[in-house]
Amino acid sequence: MPHPAIARDKAAVVTGAASGIGKAAAARFAGVGMRVYLLDLPGPALDAARDEAARAATEPDHVVALPCDVSDEAEMRRAAQRVISVCTAPSILMNNAVTRTGGGVWNPWADWKKAVDVNLWGVINGVRSFGPAMISAGARAFVVNVGSKQGITNPPGNAAYNVTKAAVKTFTEALQHDLRTTPGCRVSAHLLIPGWTTTGDRAHQPGAWLPEQVVDYMLSGLEAGDFYILCPDGETTAEMDRKRILWGAGDITENRSPLSRWDPVYKDAFDTFEP
Ligand SMILES: NC(=O)c1ccc[n+]([C@@H]2O[C@H](COP(=O)([O-])OP(=O)(O)OC[C@H]3O[C@@H](n4cnc5c(N)ncnc54)[C@H](O)[C@@H]3O)[C@@H](O)[C@H]2O)c1
């Protein structure tokens, strides 16, 4: 049985819906007859994603492009008012928008600020703008925040992105605790953790998943009631993810150096742990 929030005539809000996983999710929700609001920066990509979702929809007029900078609290609140004025509350909120701007510890302030504003504040703005109406509506509903393995295992390369995704994980865990301890609340929160997925204008590589596969995996995780929806891909199995996450936690419990997986001192030990 699909999650009851995914149903004809209910409403879904998807941020970052002009591309990749968000675009695929918006089209999927439209295909089951939901009202779908695609939130993204204004432009031809958003219009094209709306058209694509409308072609998949049983009710093309119910598919709406809502230009919105998720990092801007006022814009997000306006978007929420617009959605709530039509449908009381969405049954699905998928906070998925992302910027890869950021980089290493010494990258410009502006890059760090943008990463935090879009990737973390975008999620907080979405939850705080739509969440109260979703709770008060009293119907089954869910919030999916999109994290990353990089926010858990912290590989070197884009520290700003990793920091924001670690914060999204922490925020979503706190959100789910809050929702499950709120009397009468029928809303749940979930952390979607995609694997390597071909999105944007990147060429599809063997080993990567397509956005539609991530959406399939997300829907089965939601159906099973999973909080952590940790996707494998064609290169990384669920067992490899499990070991990498355990190894990262072991940096603290075993008093190793941080990011020891990439420290030559621990190379042999890690290679033995995850052959
Ligand atoms: N693609 C992957 O391999 C992968 C892996 C792990 C996690 N993820 C996560 O999955 C989610 C989707 O990733 P994707 O690769 O499909 O993304 P994408 O790059 O294809 O699309 C991101 C969308 O976010 C929008 N966006 C950026 N800034 C915005 C803003 N300020 N306001 C509104 N919209 C904004 C962009 O315009 C774009 O349409 C992200 O949260 C990402 O971190 C992706």
Using the mean position of ligand 1's atoms as its centre, give its distance from the Cα of residue 32 in Å: 23
Confirm or reject: Cβ of 213 under 6 Å from ligand 1. Answer: no
Strands 228-230 vs 35-40: parallel, antiparallel or unpaired: unpaired
| 178-229 pLDDT tens trace | 999 999 999 999 999 999 999 999 999 999 999 999 999 999 999 999 999 9
* CA distances (Å), origin 46, targets 15, 23, 37, 82, 210: 11, 9, 11, 18, 19
Confirm or reject: Cβ of 273 under 6 Å from ligand 1. Answer: no
Residue with tokens 């990439």: 262
d(CA 108, CA 151): 21
Q: Count of residues for the chain? A: 275
Residue with tokens 């990092």: 71
Q: What structural domains does the chain harbor?
A: 11-235 (3.40.50.720), 237-275 (no CATH)
Q: Which residues pair with 93 in a beta bridge?
A: 13, 143
Q: Which atom of ligand 1 is nearest to the CA of 43?
A: 37
| 77-126 pLDDT tens trace | 999 999 999 999 999 999 999 999 999 999 999 999 999 999 999 999 99
Confirm or reject: Cβ of 40 under 6 Å from ligand 1. Answer: yes
d(CA 97, CA 223): 23
* CA distances (Å), origin 187, targets 63, 143, 183: 23, 7, 11
Residue with tokens 């699909």: 2
